């Protein structure tokens, strides 16, 4: 329950996200719901996701009514002072009952094609969140949880941990504050909820666009992504030299949403077109400048009322890192380590541009990066993206997920029919995770194709969290995996570029974390873990999308059935490694910017856009383009506020697990069983540091100034990052880092004795 709406999440870079709910309410439901029993046969009709209430939009109102009624009964029961074990169980059922509304409403709002359903889900979401405020400020529940935490008769460690977490989460909601302060905290929480929703809606409503004439300035193979437009121009008629007629000229409108923008940056050779699209795509929605300022201010005030110096401290404290100082120290070390190599890559791109377009091209601009790096990768490794995609038809990629499940866990992903009314769109598939000895372990909805009005990114939405109902009955987890691949199921041309394959595997890692969860309480189910641990499984599963031993089991040519050649995979890996420092630098910059935005605030308000612009020049090799504001479309600042560093933590943890457990045999049942039994099945019921050490032993994390940072040894040993090691070796000789005994090339980042401060006036190289 956290105590009923916690959210964590993810999207690699700024694309992939474990779709979260709203974190500022004490009673939280990140991955939980109570879903109606699975129906046998196709005769019975149900509602969305198996909820009988949701057969029509009006059902959401009754859904909320019933959740409030049942929660009220449980509150009354807890008031009668049952045993501590029964208090914890009843609190978990309140969470389960309320979260079924929250999670189903969020999934519906973001995916349903029917506006009536979307609007009804939005109203249900706001109403249930108002009820959550009542629960969060209920002193009877708070007192019962405190008594349970002190009770030595709770039978299990997980029950003790649940009582402790519930008490902490109540207090994070301000229940221990004086009435006037608590009232203000509640106002701030509602404001943060509304601002967060407004931020996302603005991105959907105002993606921006630029009109390009003539259409020939855009390569034909991406015309299908754009909207045809026309304009009338004046010209001479063929009949008379002096006669003028209006002529119709064809153009294209580039909608500058993220997916379209990436394609334009990649394929359009016309630099002016790329520039226009880049600037527009990073300048809208303008309304989010004010929304983000208000959000940062509200979060900062909330944190200070709770006794923290900043919202970053409020967010980071319960996680592995424990403090913003530990996070910033880790990020600064990474930034210094990566800068020399990133600068070398920048110069290489700039020189390549000059070779291609002559000395008239003096500067390298941000809109050049994707275009020229793609060209350089293709040239160096003889890669053609259409050839690569021909080996990844979407149905085969889904087969790849099935191969992983079978090989690693001895289980099966089986297509199962949906009852009438259960699905929200004809494209949606439903699968069961089935073990031959254990039976069904959970259910997965796949909604993989792009369509108008759908959540634009890739994400995992909770539908139901797993929990033990009785000695013999377990509530199975249900999740929905969303992507936005081009095409439709009936098309024979739905083939993924390899980046999409990696995204699919990333999101599948999140899904498995939920589906294999076997916690007693849904409070700890699946991805309800420490923020800086949540992305580890998803990052680990990206490795499987790159390993040839895995790819050869499913990557087959869409027409010939030929298995993907190993030589092609090696070329893909080489291309991936070419600008690894640039990409790593970008992620470090995002994480540092996130910590700055939600860190300690100056006495006088600052222009955040100017600060971030300067910050970009300090921590990346690329210039800032005046007038652009990348942050107004960067949803992670809302969904992962002060937690974006978690992606880098996850990359380092995943690198160590891959090398020590999976690399020797990526399809090993032994490795998969260890991953399931030592990490995935525990969800958040154990400390993440305990889980990590139990899985691979020492050498995966380090203690630093009261917090925990990843050991980056295995991360640096990977081919794409080995070029950073010589930089670290130089610094190691100056006492900045300690080299490992096993390999003189690889070093571990040391823990500085004092936190690294931001140097806003440092020299820009």
No. of H helices and E strands in the chain? 26, 15
* HSE-CB for 646 with a 13 A CA cutoff: 32
Tokens of 526: 């699946």
Picking from 541, 205, 557, 305, the residue whose alpha carbon sits closest to that of residue 404 is: 541
Which residues is 209 bridged to in the sheet? 255
Cβ–Cβ < 8 Å for 497, 385? yes
Do the bridges between strand 474-475 and strand 478-485 make them parallel or antiparallel, or are there none, so unpaired? Answer: unpaired
Tokens of 174: 């301000």
Q: Kindly state the DSSP code that residue 39 receives in the 8-state scheme.
A: P
H-run or E-run covering 49: none
H-run or E-run covering 697: none
Return phi, psi of residue 297, to 5°.
-65, -45
- Collapsed DSSP state (helix, strand, coil) of residue 526: coil
Picking from 7, 27, 29, 28, the residue whose alpha carbon sits closest to that of residue 18 is: 7
Cβ–Cβ < 8 Å for 495, 564? no
Picking from 307, 242, 538, the residue whose alpha carbon sits closest to that of residue 317 is: 307
Q: Is 644 exposed, middle or buried (0-12, 13-18, 19+ CB in 10 A)?
A: buried
- B/e letters for 660-689, b = 16+ CB within 10 Å, e = fewer, are bbbeeebbeeebbebbbebbbbbbbbbbbe
Picking from 424, 510, 561, the residue whose alpha carbon sits closest to that of residue 120 is: 424
- Distance in angstroms (rounded) separating the CA atoms of residues 646 and 591: 8
- Distance in angstroms (rounded) separating the CA atoms of residues 108 and 47: 12
* HSE-CB for 604 with a 13 A CA cutoff: 1
- Distance in angstroms (rounded) separating the CA atoms of residues 176 and 429: 46
Q: Is 595 exposed, middle or buried (0-12, 13-18, 19+ CB in 10 A)?
A: buried
| CA dist list (Å): 70 to 32, 37, 77, 90, 452 | 16, 18, 11, 11, 36
Return phi, psi of residue 400, to 5°.
-60, -40
Picking from 503, 485, 500, 498, the residue whose alpha carbon sits closest to that of residue 548 is: 498
The dihedral sign for the CA sequence 83, 84, 89, 95 = positive
- Distance in angstroms (rounded) separating the CA atoms of residues 530 and 565: 40
H-run or E-run covering 230: strand 227-236
Return phi, psi of residue 429, to 5°.
-110, 155
Do the bridges between strand 439-449 and strand 478-485 make them parallel or antiparallel, or are there none, so unpaired? Answer: parallel
- Distance in angstroms (rounded) separating the CA atoms of residues 626 and 149: 54
Tokens of 14: 């700024």
Among residues 93, 106, 502, 507, the one annotated as catalytic is: 507
Return phi, psi of residue 710, to 5°.
-70, 145
Q: Is 507 labeled as catalytic in the residue annotation?
A: yes
The dihedral sign for the CA sequence 83, 86, 91, 92 = positive
Picking from 17, 15, 7, the residue whose alpha carbon sits closest to that of residue 507 is: 17
Angle, helix 271-281 to helix 258-267, in steps of 10 degrees: 160
Do the bridges between strand 439-449 and strand 429-435 make them parallel or antiparallel, or are there none, so unpaired? Answer: antiparallel
- Supply the residues annotated as catalytic: 507
């Amino acid at each position: 329950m956290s105590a009923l709406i916690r959210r964590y999440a993810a999207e690699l870079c700024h694309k992939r996200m474990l779709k979260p709910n709203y974190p500022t309410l004490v009673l939280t439901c990140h991955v939980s719901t109570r879903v109606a029993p699975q129906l046998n046969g196709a005769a019975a009709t149900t509602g969305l996701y198996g909820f009988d209430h949701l057969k029509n939009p009006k059902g959401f109102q009754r859904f909320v009514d019933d959740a409030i009624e049942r929660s009220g009964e449980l509150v009354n029961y807890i008031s009668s002072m049952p045993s501590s074990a029964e208090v914890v169980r009843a609190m978990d059922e309140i969470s389960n009952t309320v979260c079924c509304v929250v999670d189903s409403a969020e999934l519906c709002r973001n995916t349903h094609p029917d506006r009536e359903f979307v609007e009804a889900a939005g109203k249900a979401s706001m109403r249930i969140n108002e009820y959550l405020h009542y629960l969060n400020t209920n002193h009877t529940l708070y007192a019962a949880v405190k008594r349970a935490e002190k009770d030595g008769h709770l039978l299990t460690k997980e029950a003790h941990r649940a009582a402790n977490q519930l008490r902490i989460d109540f207090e994070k909601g301000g229940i221990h504050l004086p009435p006037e302060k608590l009232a203000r905290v509640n106002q701030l929480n509602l404001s943060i909820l509304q601002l967060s929703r407004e931020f996302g809606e603005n991105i959907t409503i105002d993606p921006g666009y630029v009109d390009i004439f003539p259409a020939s300035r855009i390569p034909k193979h991406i015309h299908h992504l754009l909207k045809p437009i026309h304009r009338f121009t004046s010209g001479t008629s063929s009949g008379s030299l002096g006669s003028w007629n209006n002529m119709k000229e064809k153009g294209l409108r580039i909608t500058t949403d993220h997916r379209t923008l990436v394609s334009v940056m990649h394929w359009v050779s016309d630099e002016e077109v790329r520039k226009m699209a880049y600037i527009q795509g990073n300048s809208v929605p303008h309304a989010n400048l004010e929304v983000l300022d208000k959000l940062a201010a509200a979060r900062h005030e909330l944190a200070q009322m709770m006794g923290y110096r900043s919202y970053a401290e409020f967010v980071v404290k319960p996680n592995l890192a424990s403090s913003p100082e530990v996070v910033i120290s880790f990020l600064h070390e990474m930034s210094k380590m990566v800068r020399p190599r990133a600068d070398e890559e920048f110069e290489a791109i700039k020189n390549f541009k000059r070779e291609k377009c002559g000395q008239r091209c003096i500067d390298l601009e941000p809109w050049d990066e994707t275009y020229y790096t793609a060209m350089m990768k293709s040239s160096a490794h003889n890669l053609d993206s259409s050839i690569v995609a021909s080996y990844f038809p979407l149905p085969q990629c889904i087969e790849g997920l099935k191969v992983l499940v079978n090989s690693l866990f001895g289980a099966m992903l089986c297509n199962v029919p949906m009852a009438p009314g259960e699905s929200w769109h004809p494209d949606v598939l439903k699968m069961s995770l089935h073990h031959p000895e254990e039976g069904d372990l959970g259910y997965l909805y796949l909604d993989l194709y792009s369509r108008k009005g759908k959540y634009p990114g890739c994400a995992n939405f909770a539908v139901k969290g797993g929990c033990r109902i009785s000695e013999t009955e377990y509530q199975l987890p249900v999740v929905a995996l969303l992507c936005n691949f081009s095409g439709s199921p009936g098309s024979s041309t739905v083939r993924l570029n390899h980046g999409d394959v990696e995204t699919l595997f990333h999101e599948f890692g999140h899904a498995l974390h939920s589906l294999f969860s076997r916690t007693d309480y849904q409070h700890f189910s699946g991805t309800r873990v420490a923020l800086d641990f949540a992305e580890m499984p998803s990052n680990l599963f990206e490795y499987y999308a790159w390993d040839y031993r895995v790819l050869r089991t499913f990557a087959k040519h869409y027409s010939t059935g030929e298995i993907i050649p190993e030589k092609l995979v090696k070329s893909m890996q080489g291309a991936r490694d070419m600008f690894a420092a640039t990409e790593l630098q970008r992620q470090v910059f995002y994480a540092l910017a996130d910590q700055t935005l939600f860190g300690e605030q100056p006495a006088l308000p600052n222009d955040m856009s100017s600060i971030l612009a300067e910050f970009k020049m300090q921590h990346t090799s690329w210039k800032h383009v005046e007038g652009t504001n990348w942050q107004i479309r960067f949803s992670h600042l809302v969904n992962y506020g002060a937690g974006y560093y978690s992606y880098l933590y996850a990359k380092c943890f995943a690198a160590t697990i891959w090398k020590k457990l999976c690399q020797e045999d990526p399809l090993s049942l032994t490795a998969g069983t260890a991953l399931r039994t030592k990490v995935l099945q525990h969800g958040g019921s154990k400390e993440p540091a305990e889980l990590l050490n139990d899985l691979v032993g020492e050498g995966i994390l380090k203690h630093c100034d009261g917090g925990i940072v990843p050991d980056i040894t295995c991360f640096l040993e990977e081919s794409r990052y080995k070029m950073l090691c010589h930089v670290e070796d130089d610094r190691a000789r100056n006492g900045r880092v300690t080299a490992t005994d096993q390999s003189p090339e690889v070093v571990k980042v040391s823990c500085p004795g004092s936190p690294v401060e931001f140097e806003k006036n440092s020299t820009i190289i």
